[in-house]
Amino acid sequence: MFARCGPMLFLCSLSALVAMPARACRVPPASQLISPEAQVAMAGDVTLATVTGVTPTADGATSYQFVVQRRLSGVGDTTFSVAGAGVSMRDLPGSGDGHADPVFWQRGGGRVMNDTDCEIHPSFEVGATYLIFSGRAPTRRSFERIDMRDDGASDRWLAFVAERLRDRQAP
């Protein structure tokens, strides 16, 4: 393709690519790669909530609006919003399978990966329900989709978090 455009165009294009600032997160922050047990032990505000709306923000991000279905820990309003990315994420281990995949349960497992800036920018689907950990730096498990099934079967991540939070509050 560049051969038809001439050698100068190729060199200019190449120099423009080289001059672009490189943003890469070579090593994710350790705080994003904790175990499920550590995440629940540090949890302050944990909410099962459904996405009710999406609003683009001036900076090109997205604000997702939620309505609380059940508060597992903490106190707060019945609605809240989360800033995130405006593109849909691919399914990762633990998403859509009731969190049965063993990879989800390993240190650093979860649906959300950090971006090139080493920050987590979650995306959500309107109408879907998520288990949201708020109030601390997010981890890869802070925004897990919980598929509410008609057959009454429980999502393993939701059951694990609810049980551990009950145990933590018991005398």
CA torsion 50→91→93→42, rounded to 10°?
-40
Q: Is 86 exposed, middle or buried (0-12, 13-18, 19+ CB in 10 A)?
A: middle
Question: In this predicted structure, what is the pLDDT of residue 118?
Answer: 83
Question: In this predicted structure, what is the pLDDT of residue 51?
Answer: 94
Question: In this predicted structure, what is the pLDDT of residue 102?
Answer: 87
* CA 52 – CA 127 distance, rounded (Å): 6
Question: In this predicted structure, what is the pLDDT of residue 119?
Answer: 85
* CA 39 – CA 142 distance, rounded (Å): 9
Question: In this predicted structure, what is the pLDDT of residue 95?
Answer: 55
pLDDT block averages, 10 residues each, the chain of length 171: 49 42 71 89 93 89 93 92 72 60 85 80 90 88 84 80 86 63
Question: In this predicted structure, what is the pLDDT of residue 167?
Answer: 85
Q: Would you kindly state where each structural domain of the chain is located, as residue ranges?
A: 34-169
CB-CB contact of 45 with 76 (8 Å)? yes
Q: Identify the architecture of domain 34-169 in CATH.
A: Beta Barrel (2.40)
Question: In this predicted structure, what is the pLDDT of residue 20?
Answer: 42
Q: Is 25 exposed, middle or buried (0-12, 13-18, 19+ CB in 10 A)?
A: middle
